[in-house]
Structure 1
């Protein structure tokens, strides 16, 4: 893609953007009556304008029906009762992650779901006890793996196989990840890692990793916190065994919004071990209150507790926007918008290193900048100019040009701040 670093060109790109109307679906934060330039969707997405209405509908049900809201709706409403609230989200979720509706379910929070999936898919036996992951993954994943392994009576130092970037490099080479799986083929029990790295913005070739893991006879799972709603996914076709995610980043479902899981249909009839709760029990007999857990079919059988209805309402409202835009169209804009931001940053002349891969297929809508000269001062200047990004000690600024609501003109203005700060 060839660009020109000018406001006119940025505005032309915005005029030609087919996703431009989706920006009006969100509430843009303001300061002193002006819209902020919000490049922090990789941490918390913006509020859809429909969120308040969706929440209000459930509050109205609670007000007028109270407990009967689990089984009925007011006459004017076409929504399903609360008893089936999770089912509203299954179709759009399946579309976004490339799955069958039976393979996905919204529930819990990310780390809870990670432990649930480990319970089912991490089955150490004999010499096959190891879990292969990437070194320096998000801390929550590191802590979950460490403590889960310890709870099984094993030593994380002996069980965890961590693959790091090569010395002097910031991102992973796929050949190194695949080689590590091959190298430990006789001792691996599971491959589990992020599908998109939170710090660098690197997208991993999940299809190739899944294929290699299955070649050596182990299941594979992915943490999709930074990938879902960001990059195209085909979890079913890639034969990924399981995945989990949060919804408050690129899915815009609100702070601490409901998580979700994917379990491939090939495991739906398997007698996998699991931690069960009453909401995962066979729906037709859930209220029989009998002993002996009988799971619901598909991913629904991994549910634990009564769903958080209010959070689920906002989640559904947000999912509908992403599903309507379509991941293919979002990805097209994401690649171009991220490339334009990269162009204007480099053209600013400011001394920085972009550690996110330069190849569009290997990155999401994020650029991670290492700024060793006055990095925190530059970040503070961005904030002063109404540009919201993310600072990571000691010298990293993460910027996420999100295709649903960010514009080319906003990207151009970020470049201008860098140019002026250097001057």
Structure 2
């Protein structure tokens, strides 16, 4: 497609966009009285307007029914989370029984590590990417220390090649083969938070499994952003947060995936709680744990309904639209943003380097050579909500639900003005 850097062209793209009407389903912050151009859905998605209705329903049931809301609310609380499973399974490419909703992301990774990091004297090492998201680094280090091991001897990081901004799949697979039968677990972020790279999860999972290791994925920046086929790729486990591309609200409930091969088994080590025991006998208060036959067996406590309600609200929009349509727009709008960046780069003295490879979702990480944080500050003051990462990178995530092609054009004009105003 031959793009054009004009307002009329961007507006024409919007007129042909079947998702454009969904912009009206979200609230936008305002700067100087105008709705912002919002590029930080990779940190916190905008609020869907229907989320208040779902939360208000829970508050009303609590007021009118109190404890009886667990069973007699319109959406009974005791199985509320089950309503999220089918739409989530479509988003992450899973069977419904492989998905559950509980806790928050790092909590869930810790709980899943109980089941899938079982070091032995020979097989004990963990493979992750260099400079993984800090929470993942802390989680892995503390898990290793919990088992009486030294993180420096146990955690192996796959590095990027000198002078390159992204990882090569062949280097990851080579590192798996190099570690050999010492590798107990591979855990990588499916989309790297810093450079926006989408890892070849299918190939890497296959290599890890062939080597005899468990394979898990942190999908914080992947769920709701890229195509996932967790069941077909034979991933052992995964977890994700809901508040980025899935717009559930700050810090809200996380989702987990556990492959079918590990379900309905009593020999899987895990930390257990009463919400993971079979619902048919849960309220008999038996002393023995009898696990649910699905991923709910990893649940500990009853779901935080006020957290889960806005998640369900957002997933209703995903059900309406479907991942296919979101992915089609994601590819087009990200390509148009890249075009705009290159056009602005041609018009000004600065040099932009897009460090996100072609394997990407809807994030472009841009190295602003010759520019400082003052440019970021200018963007923010002029209604472009973006994200700064040291040493000199802005992350731009044009989420397809609520970003428009006109936003991309307007961003280019503001960016150019910010550079020329120095």
* TM-score category (smaller protein): over 0.9
Give per-residue Cα distances to partners, 1:91-121, cap 9 Å, x unaligned.
Answer: 1111111111110011000000000111001
Query: Does residue 377 in structure 1 map to residue 374 in structure 2?
Result: yes
Gaps of 5+ in 1: none
Listed as ranges, the matches of 1:40-189 within 5 Å are 40-73=40-73, 77=74, 79=75, 81-189=76-184
8 Å contact 2:264–2:291 — kept in the other structure?
no
Root-mean-square deviation (CA, aligned residues, Å) is: 1.0
How far is 1:31 from its partner? 2.6
8 Å contact 1:372–1:395 — kept in the other structure?
yes
Counterpart of 1:408 (choices 393, 405, 409) is 405
Gaps of 5+ in 2: none
Counterpart of 2:211 (choices 208, 216, 219) is 216
How far is 1:422 from its partner? 3.0
8 Å contact 2:276–2:296 — kept in the other structure?
yes
Q: Which residue of 2 aligns with 1:328?
A: 324
In 1, Cα distance between equivalents of 2:264 and 2:176: 27
In 2, Cα distance between equivalents of 1:234 and 1:363: 16
Give per-residue Cα distances to partners, 1:19-74, cap 9 Å, x unaligned.
Answer: 1111111111123432111111000000000010000000000000000001112x
TM-score, scaled to structure 1: 0.96
Q: Which residue of 2 aligns with 1:236?
A: 231
Q: Which residue of 2 aligns with 1:339?
A: 335
Q: Which residue of 2 aligns with 1:297?
A: 293
In 2, Cα distance between equivalents of 1:320 and 1:299: 22
Listed as ranges, the matches of 1:261-276 within 5 Å are 261-270=256-265, 271-276=267-272
8 Å contact 1:345–1:414 — kept in the other structure?
no
How far is 1:415 from its partner? 1.1
How far is 1:374 from its partner? 2.6
Q: Which residue of 2 aligns with 1:258?
A: 253
In 2, Cα distance between equivalents of 1:140 and 1:100: 28
Give per-residue Cα distances to partners, 1:64-88, cap 9 Å, x unaligned.
Answer: 0000001112xxx4x3x10101111
Q: How many residues align?
A: 415
Give per-residue Cα distances to partners, 1:138-160, cap 9 Å, x unaligned.
Answer: 00000000001100111111111
Q: Which residue of 2 aligns with 1:33?
A: 33
How far is 1:323 from its partner? 2.6
8 Å contact 2:191–2:222 — kept in the other structure?
yes
Which portions of structure 1, spanning 4 or more consecutive aligned residues, are displaced by more than 6 angstroms? none
In 2, Cα distance between equivalents of 1:294 and 1:152: 27
Greater mean alpha carbon deviation, residues 250-259 or residues 280-289? 280-289
